[in-house]
Amino acid sequence: MSMLNGFLVLTGFFIAGEALRVLLALPVSGGVIGMILLTLLLMLKGSISDSLAGSSQALISVLVLLIMPGVVGVFFVADEFAGQWLAIGAALAVGTLLSVLTTLWLMQRFSGPEGGGHE
Partner 1 sequence: MSELSGRFQELLGLLSSSPALAIVLTLGAFFAGNRLFRLLKQPLWLPPILMSAMLVSGMIVILKIDYAEYREGSRWLSVLLGPATVALGVPLYQQMHHIRALWRPILFTLPVAATLAAVYAVVIAASLGASTEVLASLAPKSVTAPIAIGITEQLGGSVSLMMGGLLITGMLATLFVDFTARWLTITDPRILGFALGLNGHAIGTARAFEIGPTAGAFASLGMGLTGIFTAFILPLAFRLTSM
Q: Is residue 87 involved in binding partner 1 (CB under 8 A)? A: yes
Q: Which of 43, 79, 82, 113 binds partner 1 (CB under 8 A)?
A: 43
Q: Least Å distance between CB 62 and partner 1?
A: 8
Neighbours of 19 (CB within 10 A): 13
Q: Is residue 19 involved in binding partner 1 (CB under 8 A)? A: no
CA distances from 39 to 11, 17, 29, 30, 46 (A): 14, 13, 16, 14, 10
By CB under 8 A, how many residues form the interface with partner 1? 77
Contacts (CB under 8 A) with partner 1, residues 92-111: 92-111
Helix pair 63-72, 50-61: axis angle to 10 deg: 30
DSSP state of 61: H
Per the CB < 8 A criterion, the answer to whether 58 and 3 are in contact is yes
Q: Is residue 79 involved in binding partner 1 (CB under 8 A)? A: no
Q: Which of 74, 79, 82, 113 binds partner 1 (CB under 8 A)?
A: 74
Q: Is residue 3 involved in binding partner 1 (CB under 8 A)? A: no
